[in-house]
Structure 1
Amino acid sequence: MDKDLEQQFLSNLEIHAFNEMQQAFIKAAENNPNLMLLAPTGSGKTLAFLFRLFKNLDPTSRSTQALIIVPSRELAIQIEQVFKSLKTGYRVSTCYGGHSMKLEKNSLGELPELVIGTPGRLSDHVNQGSLDTSAIKMLVLDEFDKSLQLGFHDQLRDIFRKLKAVQNHFLTSATKMGRLPEFIPFDNPPVVDFLKQQKDSKLELKFLPTSSKEKTQNLMRLISHFQGEACIVFCNHREAVDRISLLLGDHGYEHAVLHGGMEQLDREKNLIKFRSGVVNLLIATDLASRGLDIPEIKHIVHYQLPPKEDAFIHRNGRTARMHASGQGYLVLSDEEEFPEYLDENSLEEVEIEETIASKPTGFALLYLSAGKKDKISKGDIVGFLIKIGKASNEDIGLITIMDFASYVAVKRSLAPGLVKKLNGEKLKKSKVKVAEAN
């Protein structure tokens, strides 16, 4: 039966087998009700614990049986999308700040088998009685250390007080954790540790020295040096992200930004632009360093170095995943000091040309005013673009469907014409607005 379940799970994901880490976790979870999984960013932790939950959900029980707690709304949405792609037949509700509380309460009232959420919003539902915890038997704390770093200790404690029936606790992280907080009902769980894999990745670290006055100019030269290959520039603070974004915009560099001060819709839209290849440059805080489903990135730039090594490791984990290769660049002015966790003498100095030149991608992003709640599928959108817009399959890139809207990457040269042909036309049975996403 396990093999049948495994094949059903894998076939819906269009993958042939679990990787070594996933197999090790699934096997260990059979004999350990409480388990910690340590593995690098991008190694597939989500699929490992989702299979365990999927295997143990009871299709005959009309109750909420599993809870996944995550540190960010982006990660909650990502796990929801992965779970829905499995086509298990089980229902899922996702709860996070910036989302409609009324919609969440209505969804939770239907007793979905799986609930995914951030600590703050889940704590609100628990305290207001809108989340029925009486039958929750499986709990996943994904990127658990990050939730604690972000100050969610009290909210997590509130949630745990209401979880009386939990039989399985699974904790995941991309870094080793110290002592567990007092609200965790066990000590020293068995650990499936694959962090050693991170040491096998082929990450090249390089150093770009600069004066303070020319730091942003040299950043643009470095980005030009990448010739349009995907890149994330990390800053420590949202103010630095916004400042660099303005400068890059003034010089014609198309890019997206991501930080915690942005509206949720803007955060989601910017991530869609980057994932879709509509822009190849993302300027971000450490919000982009963990858990997010961002495609393989060739270049990571540390415009500001984080004070702690863990954050540095997570940033670099966006490239050179597992056994892949990638480059990390440190842009340091003569007034900035190397942190203690880095050996300045071991870093190769990178040479860049004086050229400052942006390189736009070949795609634009279209917005459609219909989404999941309108029962719209990717097939519906492709048919809409081909039949009414006269596009071809080769003109259409990544499609992202949200609750009330959808986004489609299309060839840039065709975008204005597609907007003209499609805006106001019927998608399924309803007229939709179509525009280029700004």
Structure 2
Amino acid sequence: MENFDNLGLAPILLQNLAGIGLIKPTPIQEKAIPQIVRGRDLLGLAQTGTGKTAAFGLPMLTRIIAYGKRPAPKTVRALVLAPTRELATQIHENLSAYAEGAPVRIQRVVGGASINVQTEKLAKGTDVLIATPGRLIDLIERRALVLSETKYLVLDEADQMLDIGFIHALRRIAKLIPAERQTLLFSATMPKLMEELADSYLTDPVRVEVAPPGKAAEKIDQGVHFTTQGEKAALLAEYISKHPGELAVVFNRTKHGSDKLAGLLEKWGFSVTAIHGNKSQNQRERALNAFRAGEIEILVATDVAARGLDIPLVAHVYNYDLPNVPENYVHRIGRTARAGRDGRAVAFCGPLEMTELRAIEKAMGAKIPVVGGEAHAEGGSRPAPGQQPKGKKPHRGRGPKPAAKPAEGGKPAAKPQKPGAKSAAHAGAGGNAPPSRSRRAQRGH
């Protein structure tokens, strides 16, 4: 494998990479960076957690640094489009770290934040703009920026950007960017329809594929546990209790279901928060910052967190509800086993989710190992969103209590606590504070 210093990157970027401990490129970076430096359009397919942001960001920054002058007012030299605020924030943080000290102005614009503040920042011109499509269109309509000078267009998580939910906004934005541009599409999955749409945005592209599209990272230990919808919460609590102090993301299909599940887990003594599309940008950022710092150990989320959540210490992903879109499963479980670490992903499959499970396995081209329960007969109608179990609350004494099997009463395992410790629910009312970083360090983090 090559070093970064053999890939034609700007010296200041190499200096910053060394400073943050990045010495050797990942396979997607090694193959994509030289092609992008040469100016080629590119379709990059790689598993989640393999460094796609650096794969497009480093060569793009190298070319922009070579301009040697500031952008004109309200213009944007490079536009990076992301489907969620969380992913846009993650890209902005990474590119800013790579370009520290370089004469490059990097901005982020997303919904839920002050559009007036964003307008002021864009007035001076921007080298790299990371944006969600909706907010970008709002700013264009306000004449806060123009794309007539844009030379680079990047679609991160391209499969979702080219999905029907974004395609109309994307077409509108693409018309405003000169045809003479470099276009880069990156994703972990690329369904056939999305690949056909991608062809209309790329010119003589190089295809870089370091793993079959839709394949999960090898370091993720996957499993499916068959259960009933009413016993899922008790089963989830039992799994979480087996790994005290470890960060976990729980995916729920609906916003209401996410809030309801998070509330139930909090009542049972777990340190938990929820994020979804109904939360404000400040609420989402506070929740993610607390989770990243280890102050919150369980994050319940909709697919808003399936892409762009890059927190290396996430050890577990639980698919409380299976996704309707098979490809989203790969993105969800990709929140663990990042940066070369190991991770575990468990899917809870109810009687009415067998169709989704089979679709996921077909998309991945592999069976998910069974870790509990027995497979249900396929077919049936879907239950009401947010359905929860009727079991009793778990034991909340000073020490862990052996978990009762969900089928024998629906009781989840107790969350292990130190003598005299209070639950997360009590902590929110003025009790003990959540675990600090030093306490987490004692647990091996």
Which TM class, normalised by the smaller chain length? 0.7 to 0.9
Query: Quick one: structure 1 residues 175 and 296, their matched pair in 2 at CA, closer, same or farther if it must change by over 3 Å?
Result: farther
Identify the match of residue 290 of structure 1 among 301, 307, 312: 307
Q: Which residue of 1 aligns with 2:389?
A: none
Q: Which residue of 1 aligns with 2:336?
A: 319
Identify the match of residue 23 of structure 1 among 18, 27, 30: 30
Kept in 2: contact 1:229–1:298 (CA 8 A):
yes
Where do 1:216-295 residues align within 5 Å?
216-295=233-312
Kept in 1: contact 2:216–2:334 (CA 8 A):
no
Aligned-residue Cα RMSD (Å) equals 3.0
Matched, 1:40 2:58: no
Q: Which residue of 2 aligns with 1:71?
A: 83
Q: Which residue of 2 aligns with 1:371?
A: none
Query: Given residue 60 of structure 1, which amino acid in structure 2 is its aligned partner?
Result: K
Kept in 2: contact 1:35–1:190 (CA 8 A):
yes
Kept in 2: contact 1:201–1:324 (CA 8 A):
no
Cα distance in 1 for residues equivalent to 2:93 and 2:339? 23
Cα distance in 1 for residues equivalent to 2:133 and 2:293? 29
Query: Given residue 358 of structure 2, which amino acid in structure 1 is its aligned partner?
Result: E
Kept in 1: contact 2:247–2:315 (CA 8 A):
yes
Identify the match of residue 206 of structure 2 among 186, 190, 193: 190
Query: Quick one: structure 1 residues 180 and 296, their matched pair in 2 at CA, closer, same or farther if it must change by over 3 Å?
Result: farther
Query: Given residue 121 of structure 1, which amino acid in structure 2 is its aligned partner?
Result: R
Cα distance in 1 for residues equivalent to 2:90 and 2:227? 38
Shift of 1:134: 2.4
Cα distance in 2 for residues equivalent to 1:90 and 1:411? 36
TM-score (normalised: structure 2):
0.75
Where do 1:405-424 residues align within 5 Å?
none
Matched, 1:353 2:371: no
Q: Which residue of 1 aligns with 2:175?
A: 161
Query: Quick one: structure 1 residues 212 and 19, their matched pair in 2 at CA, closer, same or farther if it must change by over 3 Å?
Result: closer
Where do 1:335-350 residues align within 5 Å?
336-337=353-354, 339-341=357-359, 342=361, 346-349=369-372
Cα distance in 2 for residues equivalent to 1:353 and 1:78? 38
Shift of 1:145: 1.6
Q: Which residue of 1 aligns with 2:123?
A: 109
Query: Quick one: structure 1 residues 196 and 182, their matched pair in 2 at CA, closer, same or farther if it must change by over 3 Å?
Result: closer
Give CA deviations for 1:255-283 in whole Å, capped at 9, x if unaligned: 12111111111111111111111122111
Q: Which residue of 1 aligns with 2:71?
A: 62
Kept in 1: contact 2:310–2:335 (CA 8 A):
no
Cα distance in 1 for residues equivalent to 2:197 and 2:335? 28
Query: Quick one: structure 1 residues 34 and 360, their matched pair in 2 at CA, closer, same or farther if it must change by over 3 Å?
Result: farther
Cα distance in 2 for residues equivalent to 1:331 and 1:182? 33
Q: Which residue of 2 aligns with 1:83?
A: 95
Q: Which residue of 2 aligns with 1:136?
A: 150
Q: Which residue of 2 aligns with 1:152?
A: 166
Cα distance in 1 for residues equivalent to 2:250 and 2:295? 17
User: Which stretch has the larger CA shift, 248-257 or 57-66?
Assistant: 57-66
Query: Given residue 349 of structure 1, which amino acid in structure 2 is its aligned partner?
Result: G
Cα distance in 1 for residues equivalent to 2:199 and 2:173? 10
Q: Secondary structure at the match of 2:37?
A: helix
Query: Quick one: structure 1 residues 412 and 204, their matched pair in 2 at CA, closer, same or farther if it must change by over 3 Å?
Result: closer
User: Which stretch has the larger CA shift, 37-46 or 351-360?
Assistant: 351-360
Cα distance in 1 for residues equivalent to 2:90 and 2:151? 23
How many residue pairs match? The answer is: 368
Kept in 1: contact 2:275–2:299 (CA 8 A):
yes
Shift of 1:245: 1.0
Kept in 2: contact 1:142–1:171 (CA 8 A):
yes
Q: Secondary structure at the match of 1:213?
A: helix
Shift of 1:96: 1.1
Percent of aligned positions with the same letter in both sequences? 29
Cα distance in 2 for residues equivalent to 1:182 and 1:19? 24
Shift of 1:78: 1.7
Query: Quick one: structure 1 residues 17 and 83, their matched pair in 2 at CA, closer, same or farther if it must change by over 3 Å?
Result: same
Query: Quick one: structure 1 residues 334 and 360, their matched pair in 2 at CA, closer, same or farther if it must change by over 3 Å?
Result: same
Cα distance in 1 for residues equivalent to 2:183 and 2:344? 36
Query: Given residue 68 of structure 1, which amino acid in structure 2 is its aligned partner?
Result: V
Matched, 1:304 2:321: yes
Shift of 1:244: 0.6
Cα distance in 2 for residues equivalent to 1:200 and 1:43? 9
User: Which stretch has the larger CA shift, 338-347 or 138-147?
Assistant: 338-347
Kept in 2: contact 1:175–1:310 (CA 8 A):
yes
Shift of 1:170: 0.7
TM-score (normalised: structure 1):
0.76
**Which consecutive residues of structure 1, in runs of 5 or more, have no partner in the other structure?**
363-396, 398-408, 414-438
Q: Which residue of 2 aligns with 1:176?
A: 190
Shift of 1:296: 3.8
Kept in 2: contact 1:70–1:141 (CA 8 A):
yes
Matched, 1:125 2:139: yes
Query: Quick one: structure 1 residues 182 and 75, their matched pair in 2 at CA, closer, same or farther if it must change by over 3 Å?
Result: closer
Query: Given residue 195 of structure 1, which amino acid in structure 2 is its aligned partner?
Result: A
Identify the match of residue 109 of structure 2 among 73, 90, 95: 95
Cα distance in 2 for residues equivalent to 1:150 and 1:268? 27
Cα distance in 2 for residues equivalent to 1:79 and 1:112? 15
Cα distance in 1 for residues equivalent to 2:198 and 2:345? 38
Shift of 1:358: 2.4
Query: Quick one: structure 1 residues 272 and 134, their matched pair in 2 at CA, closer, same or farther if it must change by over 3 Å?
Result: same
Q: Secondary structure at the match of 2:162?
A: helix
Q: Which residue of 2 aligns with 1:387?
A: none
Q: Secondary structure at the match of 1:113?
A: strand
Query: Quick one: structure 1 residues 30 and 225, their matched pair in 2 at CA, closer, same or farther if it must change by over 3 Å?
Result: same
Shift of 1:150: 6.5
Cα distance in 2 for residues equivalent to 1:103 and 1:96? 12
Q: Which has the higher strand share?
A: 1
